Amino acid sequence: MLVVKAAGAEIRQEWCDHFAGLLPDLAARSFDAPDIRDEEVTYALVWEPDPGWLARFPKLRAIFSLGAGVEHITADPTWPRHVPLVRMGSEETGQRMGEYVAWACLSLLRDARDFALAQAERRWDYKVGDATAQDVQVGIMGMGRLGGAAVPMLRGLGFPVAGWSRSPKVVEGAICFAGPEELDAFLAETRILVCLLPATPETERIVDAALLAKLPRGAAVVNAGRGSNLVTADLIAALDSGHLSGAVLDVFDREPLPAENPLWSHPKVTVTPHVASIARRRERARFVAGAIRDFEAGRPLPNLYHPDRGY
């Protein structure tokens, strides 16, 4: 049996309906269905499971995260660590993140925030920036599955692209940097910094005043990784001093972003409500069903969480 823990009864039903079509031999149930017997549960698809809940199922074979981030599961000290944990890896997650990053970079390049403010005041704010995409290197911090998906889209728009990751890699169309020792070289040429890092102890508050100071003057920041990657006060200070020219933010320490947060009204900040890459449920269900089919046939699970790396 596959149990689904997601917000909203209708949404859980939709997940179960997708699985009924995709995996007809596996019963799929909402986590609150009355007929679930704990020892029958072999798979769980979850977002923010209550602490202790996953540990109830003695025959659990794999846990699937509804999202690419898994800190909503690993924050539970009792989550069953011996059970493989699969991060969401649908193709559409990459497509949508690529679209968001491309949109954010173009918005920053073409002063979209300024024009939105001017329009709200019916003000003809005639100005044409000097740079084209070809002059603006985008640096992706976290050149993983989603960062990699953004590369061809950015390249197609003309942006030179660089990436920074934990381990060295080769990505077509991008200059690749890795590890703390290559971070400064990566930052020095980055005109738009795109953060797509997971939430781990190592990445917590990594984008702080010291890091921002290493970007060229006039650079901009996009954060679609996690709110914990960024020191918001340091970002605001760098925007106010003129060191940074703008920011597009999708993820925050507290979500929904509280109404009193200064980011909402900052003239150089565009806020989106954690929507950068929410793939359709049908597409995510396809990914999970394919992974379960492979696993049952003795093939490895994709996109596994590694406890030693923390993501």
Residues that bind ligand NDP (CB under 6 A): 67-69, 93, 142-147, 165-167, 196-200, 202-203, 224-226, 250-251, 274, 276-278, 311
Crossing angle for the helix pair 91-109 and 281-296, nearest 10 degrees?
Answer: 140
DSSP for residue 299: P
Cβ proximity to ligand OXD: between 99 and 182 the closer is 99
Q: Which residues contact 60 (CB under 8 A, 6 or more apart)?
A: 41, 42, 43, 44, 54, 80, 83
3-state DSSP assignment of residue 124: coil
Looking at residues 198 to 257 of the shown chain, list those that interact with ligand OXD (rule: CB under 6 A).
none
**295 Cα distance to chain centroid:** 25
Task: Compute the least distance from the CB of residue 164 to ligand OXD, in Å.
Answer: 20
Length reported for the chain:
311
Task: Indicate which of ligand OXD, ligand NDP, none lies near residue 203 (CB less than 5 to 8 Å, by partner kind).
Answer: ligand NDP
Q: Does 274 participate in catalysis according to the annotation?
A: yes
Residue 107 contacts by C-beta under 8 Å, 6 or more apart in sequence? Answer: 113, 248, 270
* Shortest spacing between CB 44 and ligand OXD, in angstroms: 16
Nearest residue (beta carbon) to ligand NDP: 144
Q: Out of 88, 105, 194, 221, point to the residue binding ligand OXD (CB under 6 A).
A: 88
Q: Which does 146 bind (CB under 5 to 8 A by kind): ligand OXD, ligand NDP, none?
A: ligand NDP
Q: Is 140 helix (H, G, I), strand (E, B) or coil?
A: strand
* Residue 28 sits in the site that holds ligand OXD (CB under 6 A): no
Residue among 226, 266, 284, 286 flagged as catalytic: 226
Q: Which does residue 198 touch among ligand OXD, ligand NDP, none (CB within 5 to 8 A, set by kind)?
A: ligand NDP
Q: Is 21 exposed, middle or buried (0-12, 13-18, 19+ CB in 10 A)?
A: exposed
Yes or no: say if 196 and 169 are a contact pair by the CB < 8 Å rule: no
Bridge partners of 161, per DSSP, are 138, 174
Q: Which of 257, 214, 205 is nearest to 233 (CA)?
A: 205
Measure the CA–CA gap between 264 and 267, rounded to whole angstroms: 9
Q: Is 69 in the site for ligand OXD (CB under 6 A)?
A: yes
Q: Among residues 61, 72, 274, 281, which one is catalytic?
A: 274
| Partners of residue 63 on adjacent β-strands | 44, 85
* CA–CA distance, 72 with 75 (Å, rounded to integer): 6
Q: How far is the CB of 59 from ligand OXD (least distance, A)?
A: 27
Q: How many chain residues bind ligand OXD (CB under 6 A)?
A: 5
Q: Is 226 tagged catalytic?
A: yes
**228 versus 245: smaller Cβ distance to ligand OXD:** 228
100 versus 177: smaller Cβ distance to ligand OXD? 100
Parallel, antiparallel or unpaired: strands 2-5 and 138-141: unpaired
For position 288 contacting ligand OXD by CB under 6 A, the verdict is no
Shortest CB 64 distance to ligand OXD, Å: 12
Binding ligand OXD (rule: CB under 6 A), the pick from 54, 68, 105, 244 is: 68
Q: Which helix (H) or strand (E) holds 174?
A: strand 174-178
Q: Of 66-74, 236-244, 262-270, 282-290, which part binds ligand OXD (CB under 6 A)? A: 66-74
CA 70 centroid distance within chain:
11
Nearer to ligand NDP by C-beta: 2 or 146? 146
- Name the minimum Å distance from CB 252 to ligand NDP: 10
Point out the residues that are catalytic: 226, 274
Q: Could you list the residues that contact ligand OXD (CB under 6 A)?
A: 67-69, 88, 278
